[in-house]
Amino acid sequence: MPKHKILLTLVLTAGIFALGMNRENAMAQDRGQGRSMVISQNGIVATESPLASKAGAAILERGGNAVDAAIAAHAVMTVVAPMWNGIGGDLFAIVYDAKSGKYYGLNASGWAPAAQSVERLRQMGLREMPMHGIEPVTVPGSVDGWQKMLDRFGKKKMNEVLAPAIQVAEDGYPVTEWIAQHFASSVDLLRGSDAAAHTFLISDRAPRMGEVMHNPDLAWSLRQIAQGGRDAFYRGEITKRILALSARHGGTLAAKDFSDYASEWVEPISTTYRGWTVYEMPPNVQGIGALEMLNLMERFDLHSYGLNSTRALHVQIEAKKLAYADVIRYIGDPKMSKLPVSGMLSKEYAAERAKLIDMEHANCEVGPGTPVPSAGDTTYLSVVDREGNMVSFIESNYAEFGSGLVADGTGFVLHDRGALFSLDPASPNAIAGRKRPLHTIIPAFMEKDQIRIAFGIMGGWNQAQAHAQFVSHVVDFNQNIQAALETARFTKPTFTGCDVLLENRVPGNVKAELEAKGHKITLHNGFSDAFGGGQAVMRDYAAGVNYGASDPRKDGAAVPELPIKNWAQ
């Protein structure tokens, strides 16, 4: 072949190769998230367990709506993650009703027994609330919450939405990776109760990953509720077994504490953040802490600082300290104390508090402000259906396996939410009969124009600070909901000092630069459950398209509803 033809062939070949490389590069862009969002024109259920997500999606496929799917999914979670949640715990939910265009908050947190008091516990020699045993047990609110949600918004009956959970409890389920680790860490607590050991241990040891667990006692309890509704839990045989347990342990729970109990519909509280509106539940929960954090963060140009930069993280950490100091000082049961909610949410108050943030130095001794008065462990899930109804739903035992106590034959632990009460009579959160404690668990929403996002990130006192970070990731840094969940987070589990936990996926210089400002940083590897696990669903109402995301810090998944039509028959 002549030389000029060989040269022309080489040039053309190189050009074609380069074109192919450019196309490949264009099709395979780098990104900072590990998995894609789930995108569907039909419903999506995002939970901490694929089994629970599938149960919720199956209810949607059978004509149920977002509320039906949320309860079905949660019921399965009570089976497969009994350390984090269960029918012995409390729940909170925010429901967005597409037809009315309104948000509805449900407070299904239980109250202390009527006979409980600061004086009684101090006479027992206690100076602070214990974490385990019968004393921190309050009346569980979850089952009444299920009933309230179904009665107001559901299309399905209780027996229909509980059927998947009953089957999983009876037939068994393989223990997943995260769940196996948490079973192993709770063996000593479970051994302290014969019924708990019988229910959750195998030959006096923790279930191992992949080992099939059965819980026939929980299947019995769920069947009682499926057949008798909420009264089966608050007035039936389950009640009798719980009261017998309380009596054996010297507790004060009484039949009337259960029969009188009712969860409540409440109005969510909100603030704005750079054009978005963010909704949280009102006290007795810590959601107001997330809103106050956002008001403080809004005073700083986080976008120009950069995602997880030293300056951005410093502002968020300092805002957390200021907001949480107010939460601990002022928040309790609003029926028992006058709480400065509007003052804490005020933009003017945030402007004054933000002046305390020194960009060069960490504040290790943060106290509460003076707002103008106004006149664990947990599981979170979120659901959106094809009509645009959405549910942000959270439920908890508080500490892992709660009180550590299981009533004979019931298959679930009683929570220890009362451990968050104070024994200081001057505190708005001082324990008293028929009073609800300050709660850590919070569901949330955010919206702008035709976009709504239902989200939550579990993990005790981690939650409000994690909510604020999620919102910032979406708003300040234009992340999608999956990336916003995956992005490295900080958490500060304490209320004083400068200690901060930080995932090591932040830029390499950040730890040293934060420490130079006075922060005491402990790094955690990869995706650590010390920073909580979240779920999120989003709907674009203009396009009629739904999106789902699930945090890799949990075993869960966002599962779409299969668009079944005539062939389903």
Neighbours of 109 (CB within 10 A): 29
Residue 197 forms part of a structural domain: yes
pLDDT tens, residue by residue, 434-460? 999 999 999 999 999 999 999 999 988
pLDDT surpassing 70 at residue 391? yes
CA distances from 156 to 62, 69, 125, 128, 206 (A): 10, 9, 49, 44, 36
pTM of the model: 0.93
pLDDT band, very low/low/confident/very high, at 23 (cuts 50, 70, 90): very low
CA distances from 278 to 269, 273, 292 (A): 8, 7, 11
Residue 511 forms part of a structural domain: no
**Parallel, antiparallel or unpaired: strands 102-108 and 264-266:** antiparallel
Nearest CA-CA partner of 327 in 284, 271, 273: 284
pLDDT tens, residue by residue, 470-492? 999 999 999 999 999 999 999 99
pLDDT band, very low/low/confident/very high, at 382 (cuts 50, 70, 90): very high
Crossing angle (nearest 10°) for helices 287-297 and 310-330? 140
Contacts of 22 (CB under 8 A, 6+ apart): none
pLDDT surpassing 50 at residue 7? no
Mean pLDDT in residue range 246-275:
98
Q: What is the pLDDT of residue 32?
A: 78
Burial of 542 (0-12, 13-18, 19+ CB in 10 A): exposed
Place of tokens 């039936």: 236
Contacts of 81 (CB under 8 A, 6+ apart): 48, 49, 179, 379
pLDDT surpassing 50 at residue 5? no
Residue 189 forms part of a structural domain: yes
Q: Left, alpha or beta for 351 (phi > 0: left; psi -120 to 50: alpha)?
A: alpha
* Dihedral angle over CA of 160, 215, 108, 444, nearest 10: -80
Q: What is the pLDDT of residue 377?
A: 67
pLDDT tens, residue by residue, 309-330? 999 999 999 999 999 999 999 9
* Dihedral angle over CA of 411, 149, 439, 477, nearest 10: 110
Q: What is the pLDDT of residue 4?
A: 45
Burial of 18 (0-12, 13-18, 19+ CB in 10 A): exposed
254 vs 113: CA distance, rounded Å: 7
Helix (H, G, I), strand (E, B) or coil at 316: helix
In the structure encoding, which two tokens stand for residue 49, read together?
Answer: 């367990």
415 vs 436: CA distance, rounded Å: 13
Q: What is the pLDDT of residue 566?
A: 52
pLDDT surpassing 90 at residue 563? no
pLDDT band, very low/low/confident/very high, at 31 (cuts 50, 70, 90): confident
391 vs 404: CA distance, rounded Å: 30
Residue 26 forms part of a structural domain: no
pLDDT band, very low/low/confident/very high, at 529 (cuts 50, 70, 90): confident
Residue 21 forms part of a structural domain: no
Residue 360 forms part of a structural domain: no
Residue range of the domain that includes 153? 39-265+377-441
Residue 403 forms part of a structural domain: yes
pLDDT tens, residue by residue, 219-243? 999 999 999 999 999 999 999 999 9
Q: What is the pLDDT of residue 313?
A: 98
User: Total structural domains in the chain?
Assistant: 1
pLDDT tens, residue by residue, 50-79? 999 999 999 999 999 999 999 999 999 999
Residue 451 forms part of a structural domain: no
pLDDT tens, residue by residue, 141-199? 999 999 999 999 999 999 999 999 999 999 999 999 999 999 999 999 999 999 999 99
CA distances from 136 to 117, 129, 191, 546 (A): 12, 7, 19, 40
Higher pLDDT, 526 or 135: 135
